[in-house]
Chain A
Amino acid sequence: MTSLSKKEPAGPLLEIEDLVVEFAGDEETVRAVDGAGYTVAPGETLGVVGESGSGKSVTAMSALGLIKPPGRVVSGRVVFDGSDLRAMPRRELRRLRGGRIAMIFQDPMTALNPVMSVGAQIGEALRLHRPGMSRAKARARAAELLALVGVPGAERRLKQYPHEFSGGMRQRAMIAMAIANDPDLLIADEPTTALDVTVQAQVLDLIRLTRRETGAATVLITHDLGVVAELADRVVVMYAGRVVEHGTVAAIFDSPRHPYTRGLLESLPSLDGEVGDLTPIPGSPPAPGEVAEGCAFAPRCAMVRDRCRVERPELVQSGTRRASACHFHHELAGEETDARA
């Protein structure tokens, strides 16, 4: 399925398992990620959805080894292409960052240095991984990259500063930096959230194009299910630091087997439905650190029962290549049965 140049898909490219990340505060330690994990196959696009604070960004950052104090990876495994990132020496980890694993940040406004020309910043991404590369070469390659991501007049644009770029153009420049070293894994953290709706579509197209160009696997972190539906092969749904459901996009969108996923889908406007049909999920996610017994979603769940408040549901297989962390996923699987209130 993926591009020809890639090796045989021997195993997952990225494997995160039972990850626990804590942030030490002044008073108490907050657990942002509580046993989350997922795998990404070579060339695959994985959508990771969840509300803010669900730990989706932190989980992905651990793949870069970029969780810094006061944050700390307490336990779990992060394996990239067979090597354990948590045991990897810092020097090697740095070689991976921006090399085989690259990142696209959410806000192109702040992720570019305002006092450095765009060309210099793309050149930086290149020269960090090719110490021998001359300035002139880096410049020429930067122009190529800018042209590739659809910035017109790339040669002239190199000399400009970020404030002379529009939001969409800046995100294009960010993407150019990310793909500068032909990564195997691209982590896109809310790549379209900070952009105008019209520009969002363009950037999504661009991500699709770069995926084709580089054959890179992509972890697409977003709270926008529409983006996931457009781009992802598989979806991971996170809630309160844990994975509550995962499966292929088709499976999850057609028949969600976790009440939270179902809630997310019902709160999504559709073109044919009335605006009044939107059903928001009541309440708000638990504050991180508010360690409740049982299922973290129970207080907001429409089909909550006594068992949910005492026993924490594990993520279990719920069909082929999908899993759900709901005690009653069988009921949801049944078919379009209405959950009792």
Chain B
Amino acid sequence: MRSPKLLRHAWAVASKDLLVEFRSRTAILSAAVFVVLVLVVFNFGRDPTAVSNVDLAPSILWVTFTFAAILALNRAFQLELENQSLDGLLLAPIERSSIYLGKLIANLVFVALFFNVPVLPYLVPLMALIALATVGFVAVGTLFSAMTVRTRFAELLLPVLLLPFMIPPLSWAVLATGRLLAGRPLSEIVGWLNMLAVYDIVFVTLAIFLFPATVNE
């Protein structure tokens, strides 16, 4: 049937991207340096006697996350434009949606790899929260980066386009993270998690349908 093939092709695209990354390590290194920089800046930008760590943690987490994700997303299709390899990818006998899914998976792995590590890995709900919020905006971001790489000011345009789509899941995630880190019961954040899930479903579906329109000639 169609869907297993779709996923297999998507996986092929994703593993290609991940292999390129693990061989060259440009994105991982630059994002790691970026995270360290943000943490350092935050350290000096706050008054430790006035704001406690727990209060600040959600904002540091999500600010770092957002900007590093934008960095990673910008790269997704930039890579393919060099040597016109996007044309090669488009000529391959696979569905356009599977290229999108592949890119989505690769981007998710990038974003997840960098930032799940410092975040208290023993908290399962926090992981679920990060996963849900990330899927939403990376889905839209992957779609948009396919468009913006071929425009005039790609690096600037992607954040501008993405921001309105990024902040809703982000704001829910920040609120929920705060509650979670403050040790509130899980039932308090189920509403946010549901919202994030709805957002993810809507925009992943939408992006799968719209992606062909961004690459077809």
Partners in one complex: no
Using a CB–CB cutoff of 8 Å, the interface residues on chain B facing chain A are: none
A-side residues, CB < 8 A to B, are: none
